[in-house]
A and B are shown apart, each in its own frame.
Chain A
C-alpha cells in the first residue's frame, strides 16, 4: 500500500464571532486538504485535522487546540485556552490521512486581543 505525504495548502482565516453573552468565541478556519504532495487526489479518504497554537515563532511548544476531527474550523475561547492577552501567538494545523501526518501548515500569527473593564456603575454622591 502506497502512502503519500499530504500536501498542506492551507489558507487560514481567523474570524471573530462577536457574542453579546458569556464568553467570547474566536474561530480558526482553514481550507480542506485535497491532494497528496505528489499532486494526486486524496479522493474520498477521511482527513482529520488537529489545530495547535504556540507563543513561539519557531513553532515549538505546540498546544493542541481542541481535538482532532474532520471539521475545517476550531472555535475556542482565549481565556479557556489561557492565551496571553496582548501577545502574539501562532496557529498551525496538521492533517492526517490513513495514519500519515502532513507537515505543519504555514503559521498564522495573531495578536491575542486585550480587553478593558466595563465602566463602574451607579456613580453617586454621598
Chain B
C-alpha cells in the first residue's frame, strides 16, 4: 500500500519532469548555504549501513526518502514529511530495451516551492525509509533561501 503511494508520487514527479536523475559529487555541506536563487536541487549520499553498523544495500533495502522542511534546523519526530520519493528508480537503458535500477540521489527543489513562502529561509532534512518501514534519523540539515 505504502509502496503504491510512493510509486504514485514518483510517477507524478516524473510526469511533471521535476524529478531529476543522476548523482552529484560534492563536498561537505553541513548547514551550508549557497547564494539565493542558485540552488535548484537537493542531493545526498545513500546510507550504506543500518544504525547498528551492519551493511545495507540501498538498492534492495531502502524503500524511499522523506523530505522535511522547517523554518529552523530543529527537526523532531513530530514533523511530517513534505515530499517523498522512491529510493530506487527505473531508468531506461541506453539501448532502450530494458530498465536499469538507479539510486535516487537528487531532488528538484521546484517541487517544494508551491508550498513555501518566497523570500524566507528554510531548513531541509531528509530521512531514509527501509523496506520494513523503519526510518533513519534526520540527515544533517541544510539551509535554503527560497527566492521565487
Interface size of A by CB at 8 A reads 22
Are B40 and A126 neighbours in the complex by a CB distance under 8 Å? yes
**How far, in whole Å, are A118 and B49 apart by their CA atoms in the complex?**
6
Partner of A126, one of B43, B124, B137: B43
B41, B48, B132, most chain A CB atoms within 10 A: B132
Interface status of A23 (Cβ within 8 A of chain B): yes
Are B51 and A118 neighbours in the complex by a CB distance under 8 Å? yes
Within 8 A of B (CB), among A69-87: 79, 85-86
**How far, in whole Å, are A24 and B53 apart by their CA atoms in the complex?**
8
The segment out of A45-53, A54-62, A96-104, A109-117 that lies at the interface is A109-117
Are B52 and A123 neighbours in the complex by a CB distance under 8 Å? no
Given contacts A120-B126, A124-B43, A126-B43, contact A115 B141 (CB under 8 A): no
Residues of B within 8 A of A24 (CB): 52-54
**How far, in whole Å, are A44 and B96 apart by their CA atoms in the complex?**
73
Residues of A within 8 A of B119 (CB): none
Are A117 and B134 neighbours in the complex by a CB distance under 8 Å? yes
Residues of A within 8 A of B142 (CB): 123-125
**How far, in whole Å, are A86 and B132 apart by their CA atoms in the complex?**
9
Closest to B24 in A: A126
Interface size of B by CB at 8 A reads 48
Residues of B within 8 A of A86 (CB): 132
Are A125 and B29 neighbours in the complex by a CB distance under 8 Å? yes
Residues of B within 8 A of A79 (CB): 54
Residues of A within 8 A of B139 (CB): 119-121, 123
Q: List 20 A-B contacts (CB under 8 A).
A: A19-B53, A21-B53, A24-B54, A117-B61, A117-B62, A117-B128, A118-B51, A118-B56, A118-B128, A122-B44, A123-B29, A123-B42, A123-B44, A123-B140, A123-B142, A125-B41, A125-B43, A125-B142, A126-B26, A126-B40
Interface, chain A (partner B; CB < 8 A)? 19-24, 79, 85-86, 114-126
- Given pairs A117-B61, A117-B134, A122-B44, 8 additional interface contacts (CB within 8 A): A21-B53, A116-B50, A117-B51, A117-B56, A119-B138, A124-B27, A124-B43, A124-B44
